[in-house]
Amino acid sequence: MSAITVNHLNKTYKSYRKDPGFFGSVRSLVKRKYENIPAVKDISFTIESGELVGFIGPNGAGKTTTLKCLSGLLFPTSGEISVLGFKPFERKNEFLKQISLVMGQKNQLWWDLPPMETFLLNKEIYQIPKNHFKKTLDELISILEVEDIINIQVRKLSLGQRMKCELIAALLHSPKILFLDEPTIGLDVVMQKKLRDFVREYNKKFNATVILTSHYMEDVRQLCDRIIVIDHGSILFDGKFDELVKKHTQQKIISVIFEKEVLREKLLKLGIIKDFDLPKVVLLVKRENANSVAEKLLKDFSVLDMNIEEPDIEDVIRNVFSKS
């Protein structure tokens, strides 16, 4: 059985529109103009249990709205959602005990108390058996290396420390489905990597289904086998990461380090020169020609080093969005 099924989901926000300035305010006293803003438009997808799926899209694309609908925070305007066989909006206890939503910008930790108190509160709320709680907590604490801080007031912790504790609070009840909304926002590179490693481990160890949204393409590239690209509320792509790259980039990048000086004109015949800074040259070539160009380079020039690479992921995504 699929863990998540979404059929023709629509979510429209009703928003009140005010003309600018004082007279705009006065006018709105008498007559208010409301506008329907579609955030998600007729999207459908299925996610199997144990999958790790990344949602990519620019701000306001509909990623977070979809996540909020899946976790039961929002009432869908139309369409059907089934998560572990439940309708999320109904908030059945059995459903809520199996999911968790972690939001990078919002926290559930009690600001004035140490994280441990929130953990204990969650133990009661989720009715986690004592032994299970202790085991999971010890495990999470050691993986995330937070032994020293769980008894310090939350307000005194750094952003990274808080995020780690947020994750612990969200995972104590061992959710089968984990929604992560921008989990690495505001974290430094080292912390980002740690968090990514942790998410991957959690996914593998518990066969948990993880859905993640992120602005950082690195997060998604490193973690997710499957990505769903959303823009303007619609799905532009749903599939494997490599497929996206293949589908949306007709080119590959060949970077060469030459032994001797070469003429720019000679290289122009092989492809587009992206960067010419001898001894290093970066060429953009057609995907299907990549191998033959590489052969030619090795044959006709004295090459010290050569690499064939996929284009930068940010460029690929930009390419997808500019087409939409």
Partner 1 sequence: MLSAMSFQKANMRYFRIFFLQLQHAIEARSLSVVWFLTALTTPLLMLIFWSGATAAAGGRIFSWSYSNFATYYLFIALASSMLTAHIQEDVAFEDINKGNLSQYILKPFPYYTSKFLLELPWRLFQGSLAISGIVIVALFFKNLVSVTSSPIILLLAIVIAILAFILSFTFKMILGLLAFWFTEISGVMNVNEIIFSIASGTLIPLEFFPNNLRTLFEILPFSYMIYYPIIAFLGKLNTTSLLQVILMQLLWIFIFSLVYKFTWAKGRKTFTAVGL
Chain residues that interact with partner 1, rule: CB under 8 A: 13, 64, 68, 71-75, 89, 91, 93, 96-97, 99-101, 103, 105-106, 108, 110, 112-113, 117, 120-121, 124-127, 181
CB of 218 to partner 1, least distance (A): 22
Residue (126 or 321) nearer to partner 1, CB: 126
Please work out, in degrees rounded to the nearest 5, the angle formed at the alpha carbon of residue 228 by the alpha carbons of 161 and 216. 35
CB of 255 to partner 1, least distance (A): 41
Residue (86 or 206) nearer to partner 1, CB: 86
CB of 324 to partner 1, least distance (A): 24
Tokens of 131: 């032994």
Q: In what order do the strands lie in the sheet with 251-258?
A: 272-277, 280-286, 251-258, 303-309
Residue 152 DSSP label: S
- Tell me the helices (H) and strands (E) count for the chain, helix number first: 12, 13
Residue (64 or 184) nearer to partner 1, CB: 64
Residues whose CB falls within 8 Å of the CB of residue 38, separated by 6 or more in sequence, listed in order: 10, 11, 12, 13, 233
d(CA 113, CA 208): 30
CB of 94 to partner 1, least distance (A): 8
Which pairing describes strands 280-286 and 234-240: parallel, antiparallel, or unpaired? Answer: unpaired
Residue (101 or 224) nearer to partner 1, CB: 101
d(CA 157, CA 163): 10
Residue (110 or 206) nearer to partner 1, CB: 110
Tokens of 145: 């290396």
Residue (16 or 23) nearer to partner 1, CB: 16
Question: Angle, nearest 10°, between helix axes 159-171 and 130-144?
Answer: 150
**In contact, 67 and 101? CB cutoff 8 Å:** yes
CB of 178 to partner 1, least distance (A): 12
CB of 122 to partner 1, least distance (A): 8
